[in-house]
Amino acid sequence: MTSPAPAPPGTLRVEGGYAGTAASLEDLDTAAGVLDRAGDEVRHVAGRTARCAASLPPQSVLRSPLTAARAEARLAEVVAGPGGLVARAVALEVTARELRTAADRYREAEAVARSALELAGRMVGLPATVALAGLTVQRAGTARLLEELPVPPALDPWRDNLVDELGPNPVEALGQTLAEAPWATGLVVGGARTALDLAGGPPLTYRHEVRTLLAGAGSGGWLTDRRQVWARPLSAAVGVPVTAPDGVAGLLRDQQALMRCRPVDGPACPERGPARLRVLRVAAGDGTAAWVVELPGTQQWSPVSGRNPVDLGADVRLAGGERTRLGRSVARALADAMDGAGVAPGDEPVMLAGHSQGGLLAAQLAATPAFRRRFRVTHVVAAGAPIGRAAVPASVRVLALEHRRDPVPRLDQRPDPDRPRWVTVHRDLGVEVDEAWEAHDSRRYTGTARLVDRSHDASLRHWRRHSARFLAGEQARAWDYRLERTIRSATVERSIR
């Protein structure tokens, strides 16, 4: 419950989990329960002591009234005297009640602080958004003008330098700005949300804003999710033996393989291929087994829905907590793999893991009641993903990795919850990166995951202990699936254009 000191560049700052504030507040609740029970026990002792005092045989009192009076007086004093058993029982119960009140006050203060920060982000963000948008447009516009400006050949090097300085690509310019000032991501999103509110109508929730955006884009044929998404097993990888990830770094290394379309333990493809999903069954020596579902990050940035369903449209839908056809295809793939292994869904625990969109999809699937009813989801690992708004139940253990200069985890505009089973690891990459997109790279997150695997932090040690059956590097079997959307030929042509 003390404020964490800022971590130097390169080191990890861990929030939440076993040693987080919420865990400490839970400790206070537990302590209050202990005091309540102790109070009950003391009260019980008081009652039985009083009965003992009243149980002296009358004949014994007559035979020795003085010794009887001494014993009775002492017992009465112990039960009902000032500082006696009854008074102590009440005091313990009052202390327990005050302890619970203190924990509640801490929780209320935390909630108020979070709301205030979110509101401040939205209000301050509006001018920041306008300024950043203006700056980006201005830089890009000036660069384009300069490019088209007829100048003598001798001045060409000077013009090229200036165009480079201005950054002709607005996305690149924005990326540099966000890397230099990571907090600006929250401001930009907050500002955009406030602008949307000011455009008319009552203030909208984050989810309604996403729905408004989807409705607007959908009318133009963008960001749609109308076509079936298939998860087709890759014949080369149906239950093949592999080595399970050896820690969180192993999961992130697998992410890189997924993005390179490399078959399980096979050579990398020359080009980025179709979207892939990997399902692993990790068997322990004692006969038990656990499942790991590795979900890919965004692969298609076009707003037009094409054959690859791991796209921008899925990003937006998942950010708004919407269900996606992509999510349903993951459920089908997992059920198919379990069927292949002769395991009934729900019999063995499942970890969902991913980078970027993969992490967001993992959190949203864990937050979906129908998915949890079908599969026993116990763990989520998300790297570089905005999952602060995902309604993941408190029973699911979550590990979130976030780089300070990565704008993507900030898109949800909400800090991750501080609770005993949710650990968020922050890392400042320092001078290692000068572009926001570099900080988002899964290879960078693999480096952070290595630090997580070696960390002595109490929350991380606790998390590792409870996730060992998934990440012990044991023998496993893997199923790979190709994720593909059914599309009309006209859409194909449009997406190609």
Partner 1 sequence: MGGGTGAGDAEQVRALARAVARLAEELRAARDRAVTAGQVDWVSAAASGYRTRLREEVSGLTGLAGELDSAARLLLAHAAAVEADPR
Binding site for partner 1 (CB under 8 A): 1-2, 19, 23-24, 27-28, 30-32, 34-35, 37-38, 41-42, 44-45, 48-49, 52, 55-60, 62-64, 66-68, 70-71, 74-75, 77-78, 83-85, 88, 91-92, 95, 98-99, 102
Closest to partner 1 by CB, 70 or 226: 70
Closest to partner 1 by CB, 38 or 162: 38
Closest to partner 1 by CB, 71 or 195: 71
Closest to partner 1 by CB, 63 or 454: 63
Closest to partner 1 by CB, 418 or 441: 418
Closest to partner 1 by CB, 47 or 221: 47
Closest to partner 1 by CB, 101 or 138: 101
Closest to partner 1 by CB, 99 or 330: 99
Helix axes 65-80, 21-53, angle to 10 degrees: 160
CA pair distance 343, 328, nearest whole angstrom: 19
HEC profile of the chain: CCCCCCCCCCCEEEEECCCCHHHHHHHHHHHHHHHHHHHHHHHHHHHHHHHHHCCCCHHHHHHCHHHHHHHHHHHHHHHHCCCCHHHHHHHHHHHHHHHHHHHHHHHHHHHHHHHHHHHHHHHHHHHHHHHHHHHHHHHHHHHHHHHHCCCCHHHHHHHHHHHHHHCCCHHHHHHHHHHHCCCHHHHHHHHHHHHHHHCCCCCCCHHHHHHHHHHHHHHCCCCCCCCCEEEEEEEEEEEEEEECCCCHHHHHHHHHHHHCCCCCCCCCCCCCCCEEEEEEEEECCCCCEEEEEEECCCCECCCCCCCCCCEHHHHHHHHCCCCCHHHHHHHHHHHHHHHHCCCCCCCCEEEEEEECHHHHHHHHHHCCHHHHHHCEEEEEEEECCCCCCCCCCCCCEEEEEEECCCCHHHCCCCCCCCECCEEEEEECCHHHCCCHHHHHCHHHHHHHHHHHHHCCCHHHHHHHHCCHHHHCCCEEEEEEEEEEECCCHHHHHHHHC
Closest to partner 1 by CB, 27 or 432: 27
Closest to partner 1 by CB, 98 or 160: 98
CA pair distance 291, 379, nearest whole angstrom: 10
Closest to partner 1 by CB, 1 or 112: 1
CA pair distance 82, 429, nearest whole angstrom: 62
Question: Minimum distance from CB of 114 to partner 1 (Å)?
Answer: 20
Question: Minimum distance from CB of 461 to partner 1 (Å)?
Answer: 15
Question: Minimum distance from CB of 116 to partner 1 (Å)?
Answer: 21
Which residue carries 């009260």 as its tokens? 43
The answer to whether the beta carbons of residues 222 and 313 sit under 8 Å apart is yes
CA pair distance 459, 296, nearest whole angstrom: 27
What is the C-alpha R_g of the chain? 30
Closest to partner 1 by CB, 66 or 344: 66
The token pair that represents 477 in the structure block: 């079997």
Question: Minimum distance from CB of 462 to partner 1 (Å)?
Answer: 13
Give the HSE-up count for residue 103: Cα atoms under 13 Å, Cβ half-sphere: 19
Question: Minimum distance from CB of 459 to partner 1 (Å)?
Answer: 12
